[in-house]
Amino acid sequence: RGMAGSRLSLLLDGDLVLGGCGSRMDPPTAYVFPETYDRIRLIKGPQTVLYGPGNSAGVVLFERDHHRMTEPGWKFHGSALGGSFGRNDEVLDIQDGTSDFYVRGMASQSQQDNYEDGDGNETHSAYDRWNTSLALGWTPSDDVTLELTGSRSDAEAAYADRSMDGSKFARDNIGVKLILENLSPLIKKLEAQAYYNYVDHVMDNYSLRGPAVMQMASNPDRKTEGGRIIATMVPTSSSELIIGLDTQTNEHTNRSTSNQMMTRYQDASRIKDAQFKQLGVFGEWTQHLTESQRLIAGLRFDEWQAEDSRDTLKIGMAQVANPNANQERKENLSSGFIRYEKDLH
């Protein structure tokens, strides 16, 4: 389910995804569909500064390949899985194009009924989730890739350990990425990307379980916009320097009801309760000492700004004035690491 705060980030082909629920009913993993990616990398611990701030426990990278097609043609990958308790997964991945253009479409669906133990006792745990993604690419040469992407997904999940279920896990995404390679003997690679992510989450006590006396629902959402520019340079034959800049802005709102039959949450106005902004610069140096030894060091500086937009706080059943309403906090934070590596044969 991920770790609290920013200790373990998840990047979907470079895009940062954040959940909406303050109780983490929809952690970032709720919006990830692993089989629609080509590769998953886990960088554990504070061993890099390239993938955003925080990440003291590590970062999980869900990556897709961006290669120029050598000749016109198409590729197809599909899979279907069936299992106990009505489990079924389906995945489709198809790509077509030429050496100059390509289009890639991906879709996945996963579903399972409630779990039953050996005595036939049923656990409230069914789920259903789907995802669609589309990528359009322009590759005028081996060294240039421009890609526009879009994704949409949704899900529902029953929770045995809570008084509410997740009846909506919707995500909309748009991104653009530019990759330039072999620009000069010094600059090996230049990457730039920008993205927009919107998650819309609903938790309620009536959609996926028996009728409730009081139908309650909460509908938080989060909009995340960001981007980064990163350059990979080769100062000498035995060293590599990566420098870059990244930024993100995310806004969180919520709306809810304690009586869906009388006052529908869909008719309520959204109330912004928090906004965060971050701008960071970073650099990472790799120095090869010998064929089997290297020294890697990284440093980054981040400017953070957070705003508490809540006018009131809920304590029990009562609403009280928020003493920090509309207050801002700004911090300039730094982080870094140094690591020695030796290969043993």
What are the CA-CA distances from residue 54 to residues 138, 210, 232, 338, 340 (Å)?
A: 34, 42, 22, 16, 21
pLDDT, tens only, 153-180: 999 999 999 999 999 999 999 999 999 9
Average pLDDT over every residue of 287-303 = 97
The whole-number pLDDT of residue 235 equals 97
pLDDT at 3: 60
Q: Give residue 303's pLDDT band: very low, low, confident or very high (50, 70, 90).
A: very high
- Joined together, the tokens standing for residue 220 give 């938080």
Higher-confidence residue of 252 and 345: namely: 252
Look up tokens 């906004």; give the residue: 275
Looking at residue 1, what is its pLDDT?
Answer: 47
Cβ atoms of 242 and 217 closer than 8 Å: no
- Give the dihedral of Cα atoms 106, 151, 26, 110; nearest 10 deg: -20
- Domains in the chain (CATH in brackets) are 8-66+73-342 (2.40.170.20)
Report the chain's mean pLDDT, rounded to a whole number.
Answer: 93
* Per-residue burial over 10-44, b = 16 or more CB atoms within 10 Å of its CB, e = otherwise: bbbbbbbbbbbbeeebbbbebbbbebbbeeeeeee
Question: Which of 13-27, 39-53, 122-136, 204-218 is predicted most confidently?
Answer: 122-136
pLDDT at 2 over 60: no
Q: What pLDDT is stored for residue 183 in this prediction?
A: 96
Supply the pLDDT for residue 197. Answer: 97
Check residue 96 and give its pLDDT.
Answer: 96
Q: Is 265 helix (H, G, I), strand (E, B) or coil?
A: helix
Q: For residue 4, what pLDDT is reported? A: 60
Looking at the chain, the whole-number percentage of residues with pLDDT higher than 70 is 98
Q: What is the pLDDT of residue 193?
A: 98
184-210 pLDDT, tens per residue?
Answer: 999 999 999 999 999 999 999 999 998
Q: What is the pLDDT of residues 258-275, one digit of tens each?
A: 999 999 999 999 999 999
